[in-house]
Structure 1
Amino acid sequence: MPTLEQIQTKMKQLQTQADALIAKKAQAAVDQIRKIMLAHGLTTEDIEAKAKAKRETKAANGSTSKVKMKAASSLKSKAPPKYLHPKTEATWTGHGRAPAWIAEVKDRSKFLIAGAEATVAASVGTASKAKTVGKKAAAVAGAVGHRGQRTGPQPAKYLDPKTGATWSGRGPAPAWLAGAKDRTKYLIG
């Protein structure tokens, strides 16, 4: 009966033979591809452009996997994509939960799309300015906010005659009013 060392030696020899056969087949395939490329005057850029066009038409027809559908849907989102996976061409806007391909990466700068940082910063600046202007206009006009309630500071409805403290009636009642059985005597005008 063979020993463990003999079996492991045999396995290493067989693995070496298998690797040599794989390399030989791969080289034969590469040689055949180069021959066809030379015969038709093609470059690797031509082949990649055709493959990219084919992927895009598949995505447009809806016959893609869920991963590619997520990548396509991120392109359709309101925010432009900020990060791009170089191999799968999946994108991420930088908002929401990070996809698996970038979640554990410490330095995300290698996935940044050129010019995306400036575009994103400009759009964020514009959006925040618009929100600020909208909030100021709402406060000035006494606009209705969340769930039909006014936003901003409210006029006082209750007054403590002893201390002069006031309460608008929103939020938790202060201690001087919380224990009162009849709040009407604290009402202002």
Structure 2
Amino acid sequence: MGTGLVTAVNSNDVYSFTKPTRESITLLVGLGVEGDVHAGVTVKHRSRVAQDPTQPNLRQVHLIHRELFDEVAQEGFEVAPGQLGENVTTEGIDLLGLPTGTLLRFGEGEGECAVVEVTGLRNPCLQIDAFQQGLLKRVVGRDETGRVVRKAGVMGVVREGGTIRPGDAISVTLPPRPHVALERV
């Protein structure tokens, strides 16, 4: 399936739409990004907590492809890593085209690599328009058949802990067939 690259890592210990860029982040198995407000076994996103605080946290790590920033820049929007709330900004991987259960391995070699299992698509919310008016329509829309298309990245859970830094390689391992397309989580 190929390889990609980490271009930025971001985390925030308080609820905020954006996440400051860091030199590194540490992933904790079954929890998410160490020190990030969204880390935990059960849901931490406010809307999900309001629905059912006992739901499993399938949104421990948020990843966005840097190529999205280039796409929205053509429409006049300026977006930098962490500004859409992602923990990991990637390059060179079609995150949105991955099937559910894909494993993303960060770094090289054995033992030191963090592994994230992709659980689904981020469901963009109105906070994106509060960040930059009109941006929401650029990251969620409909295709020619009327199907909703979500472009604001993917979510995952931590299967193997470790530290991730900008410049780390990302390798992709697809799950066994039949592949299941990503849905919002």
**What's the TM-score once normalised by structure 2's chain length?**
0.17
Larger radius of gyration: 1
Structure 1 or 2: larger strand share? 2
- Greater relative contact order structure (CA < 8 Å, 6+ sep): 2
